[in-house]
């Protein structure tokens, strides 16, 4: 009897790699115009950016926001009553503006939180802020699941939260730690040391190191979070920011002074002018470049892809699929039918 010889196993068919086409050999295609097309469309529609400022009264939150955007955009600059008393509980006040520069329109919303940390008992005073942030996610989610949803959903989600730390030079308050511990999971927090001109250079350096250490010990992650770095270039750039710049020690001012024949934003003191945009005086320029010139789009993407998606997944999972239909949603549904 002849011995059965097993048939040799056929090698799996490996799909051929697509051949690279050298566009220069075939003539100009025009792929490089996509960037210009996107730029034109963005310039026409503009874009949204929503920034929240949190901290005790008297830390210069309004002044810093005005300095960041070189406009009167803060709550106090928009019809604030000088006789207004500190609220007994945390209030949320949002002021919207349209800023245009170089033909690009930005719908800027500044969300202020008067009353935060100003009471004798500040227990759970971050809850109204967390509620507001989640309400904006809920509003966006309801628009998304509408059958007849808008072509462009209005974006009121908080993209960035500047948390102002008092320049004590000692350590973070329990309130600071509790706020950042709770809110870092739902919004991009950027810690800043307010009124840094009240400290010497040595005190400022030591305080920054102490704050970074306390945040690390308490497991608090601020923006840019390490796990969201997309590649080596991002990691290198963001590591430098996390290890050297954070928290930004800043000084804000919307007043101009003459220094060496130039007009500069600054604060006048008995010993001279503190130039806001001079890196040897404070780190305002680093904060501005970080928030607006290098990471603004990333702040929006992390908000949408991480914080909003986390809220959306939990919300839909808890409700078995979709949020409950509102009267408006039902009316839209019926009109479509």
* pLDDT at res. 88: 63
| 127-145 and 174-183 helices, crossing angle to 10° | 10
Asked if the model's pLDDT at residue 335 lies above 50, the reply is no
Task: DSSP for 17-41, please give it.
Answer: PPPP--HHHH----GGGHHHHHHHH
Q: CATH code for 46-74+86-251+279-319?
A: 3.40.50.300
% of the chain residues with pLDDT over 70:
83
| Residue of 268 and 289 predicted with greater confidence | 289
Q: What does the alpha-carbon distance between residue 271 and residue 274 come to, in Å, rounded to a whole number?
A: 9
* pLDDT at res. 304: 95
When pLDDT is averaged across residues 41-60 and rounded to a whole number, the result is 88
* pLDDT at res. 292: 93
Give 94's strand partners. Answer: 111
Task: Give alpha helix (H) positions in the chain.
Answer: 23-26, 34-45, 61-69, 127-145, 174-183, 201-217, 232-240, 284-288, 296-302, 309-318, 327-336
Min mean pLDDT across 6-20, 46-60, 141-155, 251-265 is at 6-20
**CA 192 vs CA 249, 286, 305: distances in Å:** 6, 11, 25
* pLDDT at res. 79: 58
Asked if the model's pLDDT at residue 278 lies above 90, the reply is no
Indicate the domain borders of the chain: 46-74+86-251+279-319
| Residue of 55 and 270 predicted with greater confidence | 55
Structural tokens at position 93: 């006040």
Q: Which residue has the tokens 């942030």?
A: 133
* pLDDT at res. 288: 94
User: How wide is the angle at C-alpha 53 spanned by C-alphas 229 and 173, nearest 5°?
Assistant: 85
User: How wide is the angle at C-alpha 90 spanned by C-alphas 110 and 111, nearest 5°?
Assistant: 5
Confidence of residue 297 (pLDDT cuts 50, 70, 90): very high
Name the residue among 35, 50, 155, 30 with its Cα closest to residue 96. 50
Tell me if 300 sits within 8 A of 159, measured CB to CB. Answer: yes
When pLDDT is averaged across residues 230-250 and rounded to a whole number, the result is 89
Q: What is the DSSP letter of 197?
A: G
Asked if the model's pLDDT at residue 7 lies above 70, the reply is no
Mean pLDDT across the chain: 83
Min mean pLDDT across 194-208, 211-225, 262-276, 286-300 is at 262-276
Query: For the segment 148-159, what is each residue's pLDDT rounded down to a tens digit?
Result: 878 888 999 999
User: How wide is the angle at C-alpha 178 spanned by C-alphas 175 and 183, nearest 5°?
Assistant: 120
Backbone angles phi, psi at 15, to 5 degrees: -60, 140
Give 191's strand partners. Answer: 163
Task: DSSP for 281-332, please give it.
Answer: T-SHHHHHIIIIIISHHHHHHHIIIIIIHHHHHHHHHHTTTSPPPPHHHHHH
Query: For the segment 93-147, what is each residue's pLDDT rounded down to a tens digit?
Result: 999 999 888 888 889 999 999 889 887 778 888 999 999 999 999 999 999 888 8
* pLDDT at res. 190: 96
Q: What does the alpha-carbon distance between residue 293 and residue 104 come to, in Å, rounded to a whole number?
A: 14
Q: Which residue has the tokens 């305080």?
A: 207
Q: Which residue has the tokens 């920054």?
A: 208
Highest mean pLDDT among 2-6, 103-107, 193-197: 193-197
* pLDDT at res. 14: 53
* pLDDT at res. 19: 53
Backbone angles phi, psi at 90, to 5 degrees: -70, 130
Name the residue among 114, 38, 118 with its Cα closest to residue 80. 114
| Residue of 189 and 91 predicted with greater confidence | 189
Q: What does the alpha-carbon distance between residue 123 and residue 52 come to, in Å, rounded to a whole number?
A: 20
When pLDDT is averaged across residues 169-187 and rounded to a whole number, the result is 91
% of the chain residues with pLDDT over 90:
41
Query: For the segment 306-330, what is each residue's pLDDT rounded down to a tens digit?
Result: 999 999 999 988 876 555 555 454 4
The CA-based dihedral angle spanning residues 231, 233, 239, 241, taken in that order and rounded to the nearest 10 degrees: -120
Query: For the segment 68-100, what is each residue's pLDDT rounded down to a tens digit?
Result: 988 888 877 665 555 556 666 688 999 999 988
Asked if the model's pLDDT at residue 296 lies above 90, the reply is yes
Query: For the segment 22-39, what is each residue's pLDDT rounded down to a tens digit?
Result: 545 567 888 888 888 888
């Amino acid at each position: 009897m002849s011995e059965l010889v097993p048939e040799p196993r056929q090698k799996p068919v490996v799909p051929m790699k697509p051949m690279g086409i050298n566009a220069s050999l075939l003539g100009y295609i025009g792929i490089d115009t996509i960037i210009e097309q996107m730029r034109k469309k963005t310039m026409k529609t503009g874009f949204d950016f929503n920034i929240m400022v949190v901290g005790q009264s008297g830390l210069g939150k309004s002044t810093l926001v005005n300095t960041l955007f070189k406009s009167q955009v803060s709550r106090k600059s928009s019809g604030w009553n000088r006789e207004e008393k500190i609220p007994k509980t945390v209030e949320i006040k949002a002021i919207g503006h349209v800023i245009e520069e170089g033909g690009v329109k930005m719908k800027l919303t500044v969300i202020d939180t008067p009353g935060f940390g100003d009471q004798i008992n500040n227990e759970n005073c971050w809850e109204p802020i967390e509620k507001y942030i989640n309400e904006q996610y809920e509003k966006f989610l309801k628009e998304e699941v509408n059958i007849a949803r808008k072509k462009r959903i209005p974006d009121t989600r908080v993209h960035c939260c500047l948390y102002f730390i008092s320049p004590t030079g000692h350590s973070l308050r329990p309130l600071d730690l509790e706020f950042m511990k709770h809110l870092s999971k739902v919004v991009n927090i950027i810690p800043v040391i307010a009124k840094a001109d009240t400290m010497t250079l040595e005190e400022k350096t030591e305080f920054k190191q102490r704050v970074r250490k306390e945040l690390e010990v308490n497991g608090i992650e601020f923006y840019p979070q390490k796990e969201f770095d997309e590649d080596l270039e991002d990691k290198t750039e963001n590591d430098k920011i996390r290890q050297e710049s954070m928290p930004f020690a800043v000084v804000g001012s919307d007043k101009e002074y003459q220094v060496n024949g130039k007009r500069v934003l600054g604060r006048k003191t008995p010993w001279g002018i503190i130039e806001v945009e001079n890196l040897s005086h404070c780190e305002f320029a680093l904060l501005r470049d970080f928030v607006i010139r290098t990471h603004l789009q990333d702040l929006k993407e992390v908000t949408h892809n991480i914080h909003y998606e986390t809220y959306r997944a939990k919300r839909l999972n808890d409700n078995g699929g979709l949020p409950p239909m509102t009267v408006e949603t039902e009316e839209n549904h019926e009109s479509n039918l």
